[in-house]
Amino acid sequence: MDAGVLKFIQSCIRRRRIHWTYHVNMRLRNRFISREAVLLSVGSYELIEEYPKDKYFPSCLVYAEYDGDPIHIHVAIDQAGDRVIIVTVYRPSRDKWEEDLRTRRNQ
C-alpha cells in the first residue's frame, strides 16, 4: 500500500480538509459513531484496501481505532482539491472480516 496516500489522508484530516457526504452523515447517526471518532483516531489509521479506479476519485478503506473500538472509514482522495471525502464509516463485523478486522473473509 502507498504510504504517501496514508500521509495525505492523515494530513487532510488533521487540517480539517474534509468533505462529509450526506451518506456518511446519515450512517454516522444510525450507527452511533461520532465525527470525533474519525477525527481523533487519525494517529491509528492503517490503509487496508485501495480502489484506484473508484467512480469519482480514487479511494481506500482505512482501519482505525477510537476508544479501543475498531472502525472502517471509506475515504475518497481529491488531491487536486487538497481534501478527502468521507464516504462512509462503520464498525467491521467478524462475519465479513478476519480476526484482525483488516482482511476480508472469502465470501
Q: E strands of 1-107, at which residues? A: 18-20, 46-51, 59-66, 69-78, 83-90
Which grid cell is 79? 488531491
Arithmetic mean of pLDDT, 68-94: 97
Please enumerate in sequence order all residues whose Cβ is within 8 A of that of 31, keeping only pairs 6 or more positions apart, or say none: 89, 90, 91
Provide the whole-model pTM: 0.94
Q: How many domains does the chain have?
A: 1
Domain that holds residue 50: 3-90
Question: Would you say 76 and 58 are in contact if contact means Cβ atoms under 8 Å apart?
Answer: yes
Percent of the chain at pLDDT above 90? 93
Task: State the Cα–Cα distance between residues 66 and 96, nearest whole angstrom.
Answer: 20
Determine, yes or no, domain membership for 51.
Answer: yes
User: What is the tens place of the pLDDT at every residue in 37-77?
Assistant: 999 999 999 999 999 999 999 999 999 999 999 999 999 99
Tell me if 106 is assigned to some domain: no
Dihedral pair phi/psi, residue 68, rounded to 5°: 80, -5
Q: Is the pLDDT of residue 92 over 90?
A: yes
CATH code assigned at 53: 3.30.2310
Determine the pLDDT at residue 89: 97
